[in-house]
């Protein structure tokens, strides 16, 4: 309770330190995607599905008399069922360029994931819940909504360096059979430099979080590290990222929580020529999963290769042709949950 009171006091004190304008400045952006996906699973029947997706983002900000910018945002996404994304922090950006996020702040390790080029489009092959191989390099970066994250100004300690640190705490709710993340910590950094005509971006982070449930505890709490690099030379971008750590899969069935020890490697390349962008990406995820208290010994894996061609038809309008192929294995045995998929569609952005 003491931690929650201190965090609430800090929020009220900060927001009340200077006068605030009566109305904030609102900006908006969004997009509409319409296309069709053709799936060919290793087993089962080939299918085709219309993909109709839209999103609308509202950003709110205002600057106090003291020069501090207060901002937040929310997003409405429609992918068959409307979802309002309200997991957004209140961000305070100070005159020196540093910033702090209060509530729903996330984990600082995830803030510094280096963007690896990947294919466009909405194609994919649905897997199964028994395969726990991760697909994102920051899969071990967990947090709760009651959190805070600090961001340094640009050129912190060295030219091109930015850093972040975060902490979140539990809600005070009673433990249940379903495992969940409680207290979390994270640190991350991004460094940007140039080498001749090439701009290099290096980034990484370390995360740690406690897992809480009423049953047997996991052998390892949630946590791990990631690092990545991207290089941009003219119209060519290449990137690679790697993540390793422990996470978990929670379940409402008592005793069926799963602890996961995993790693993932991602690499990609993109090239822009005129109005055409070509992209290729590969992902290799591996994991061992077992019941809480019993680390797994057999590997799950998911290997995917995706490619796309995007054509800029007009300002804000693009046509996309994408392809993905996926191979999966569960507990060391190749499964029929892989396959391939095509996507052809258009995106209109504003």
Domain CATH for 167:
2.40.160.10
Q: Which of 66-80, 205-219, 326-340 has the highest mean pLDDT?
A: 205-219
Residue 152 lies in a domain: yes
CA dihedral 14, 87, 52, 337 (to 10 degrees): 140
236: which 2 tokens? 């060519």
CA dihedral 17, 19, 23, 25 (to 10 degrees): -70
CB 50 within 8 A of CB 39: no
Q: Which of 205, 270, 197 is nearest to 241 (CA)?
A: 205
Give residue 172's domain range. Answer: 35-54+112-349
Residue 201 lies in a domain: yes
* pLDDT value of residue 12: 46
* pLDDT value of residue 164: 97
Q: How many domains does the chain have?
A: 1
* pLDDT value of residue 1: 43
Q: In this model, does residue 328 exceed pLDDT 50? A: yes
Q: Which of 245, 247, 202, 198 is nearest to 227 (CA)?
A: 202
Residue 3 lies in a domain: no
What does the pLDDT average to over 102-126? 92
Residue 7 lies in a domain: no
* pLDDT value of residue 124: 86
Mean pLDDT taken over the chain? 89
Residue 50 lies in a domain: yes
Residue 29 lies in a domain: no
Question: Is the Cα dihedral 194, 200, 206, 211 positive or negative?
Answer: positive
What does the pLDDT average to over 106-128? 89
Residue 190 lies in a domain: yes
What does the pLDDT average to over 130-150? 92
* pLDDT value of residue 128: 67
- How many Å apart are CA 116 and CA 98, to the nearest integer? 26
Q: Band of the pLDDT at 256, cuts 50, 70, 90? A: confident
* pLDDT value of residue 238: 98
Q: Which of 286, 267, 288, 290 is nearest to 328 (CA)?
A: 286
Q: What is the pTM of this model?
A: 0.85
- How many Å apart are CA 255 and CA 149, to the nearest integer? 33
């Amino acid at each position: 309770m003491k931690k929650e009171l201190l965090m609430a006091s800090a929020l009220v004190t900060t927001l009340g330190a200077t006068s605030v304008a009566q109305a904030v400045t609102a900006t908006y952006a969004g997009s509409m995607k319409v296309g069709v996906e053709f799936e060919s699973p290793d087993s089962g029947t080939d299918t085709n599905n219309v993909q109709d997706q839209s999103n609308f983002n509202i950003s709110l900000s205002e600057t106090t008399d003291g020069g501090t910018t207060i901002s937040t945002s929310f997003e409405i996404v429609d992918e068959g069922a409307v979802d309002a994304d309200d997991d957004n922090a209140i961000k305070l950006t100070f005159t020196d360029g540093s910033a702090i996020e209060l509530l729903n702040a996330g984990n600082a390790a995830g803030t510094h994931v280096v963007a690896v080029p990947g294919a466009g489009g909405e194609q994919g092959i649905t897997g199964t819940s028994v395969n726990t191989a991760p697909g994102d390099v920051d899969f071990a970066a967990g947090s709760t909504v009651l959190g805070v994250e600090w961001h340094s100004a640009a050129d912190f300690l060295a030219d091109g360096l930015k850093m972040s640190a975060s902490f979140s705490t539990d809600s005070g709710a009673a433990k249940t059979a379903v495992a969940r993340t409680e207290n979390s910590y994270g640190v991350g950094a991004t460094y940007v430099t140039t080498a001749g005509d090439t701009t290099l971006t290096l980034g990484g982070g370390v995360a740690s979080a406690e897992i809480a449930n009423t049953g047997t505890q996991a052998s390892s709490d949630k946590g791990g590290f990631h690092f990545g690099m991207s290089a941009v030379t003219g119209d060519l971008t290449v990137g690679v990222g790697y993540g390793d750590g422990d996470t978990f899969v929670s379940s409402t069935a008592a005793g069926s929580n799963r602890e996961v020890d995993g790693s993932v490697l991602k690499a990609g390349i993109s090239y822009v020529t005129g109005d055409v962008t070509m992209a290729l990406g590969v992902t290799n995820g591996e994991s061992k999963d077992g019941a809480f208290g019993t680390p797994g010994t057999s590997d799950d894996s998911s290997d995917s290769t995706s490619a796309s061609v995007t054509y800029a038809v007009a300002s804000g309008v693009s046509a996309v042709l994408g392809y993905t192929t996926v191979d999966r294995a569960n507990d060391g045995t190749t499964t029929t949950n892989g396959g391939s998929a095509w996507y052809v569609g258009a995106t209109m952005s504003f």
